[in-house]
């Protein structure tokens, strides 16, 4: 028997590159990591940025206008929400605690307190009368009355939020 000599023969034709070491995978991985970091930064910025404060009178007008978009089968619910918004506005505007008062108590406070302009009393009296009127009105008249109350409320806020500037008040005194 003849002995065979063993030789090691190299295989040069076959190579194996794992997919996780390929260029396209590394590029895609870097892109995903960068986009993920940018998303985290964006959401943290949105969460912690300072939001612009909306003035109380602007918020009141916005909330009153939102009441217009709802349909109310029950007019009393509409007037309940409307008077609540007006009371919150008056409390913030004139610094007189009126939120927990009834409508008649609010009118008495408006009549007795010199802080409130007389026009506010007259306008609120007309708005508060709407609650009584809609009890006996048919649907069309009730809707018209509610639209009128919305317009008067917005006008009331727009007219009362303006604080007279020192230059106009000094000219008025001359």
Confidence class of residue 30 from pLDDT cuts 50, 70 and 90?
very high
Residues 6+ apart with CB under 8 A from 64: 82, 85, 150, 153, 154, 157
DSSP 8-state code for residue 3? P
Average pLDDT score, the chain: 80
What is the reported pLDDT for 105? Answer: 86
What predicted TM-score, i.e. pTM, was given to this entire model? 0.61
- 37 CB burial (10 A radius; 0-12, 13-18, 19+): exposed
Helix ranges (H only) for the chain are 23-48, 56-69, 75-94, 103-112, 118-136, 139-160, 166-172
**pLDDT tens digit sequence for 7-23:** 777 766 667 788 888 89
């Amino acid at each position: 028997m003849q002995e065979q000599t063993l030789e090691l023969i190299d295989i040069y034709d076959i190579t194996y590159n794992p997919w996780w070491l390929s260029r396209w995978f590394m590029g895609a991985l870097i892109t995903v990591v960068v986009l993920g970091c940018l998303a985290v930064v964006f959401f943290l910025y949105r969460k912690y940025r300072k939001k612009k404060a909306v003035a109380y009178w602007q918020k009141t007008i916005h909330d009153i206008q939102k009441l217009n978009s709802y349909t109310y089968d029950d007019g009393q619910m509409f007037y309940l929400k409307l008077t609540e918004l007006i009371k919150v506005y008056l409390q913030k505007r004139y610094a007189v605690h009126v939120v927990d008062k009834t409508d008649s108590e609010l009118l008495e406070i408006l009549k007795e307190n010199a802080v409130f302009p007389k026009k506010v009393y007259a306008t609120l009296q007309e708005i508060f009368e709407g609650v009584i009127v809609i009890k006996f009105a048919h649907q069309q008249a009730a809707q018209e009355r509610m639209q009128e109350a919305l317009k008067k409320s917005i006008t009331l806020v727009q007219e009362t939020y303006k604080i007279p500037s020192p230059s106009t008040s000094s000219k008025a005194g001359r």
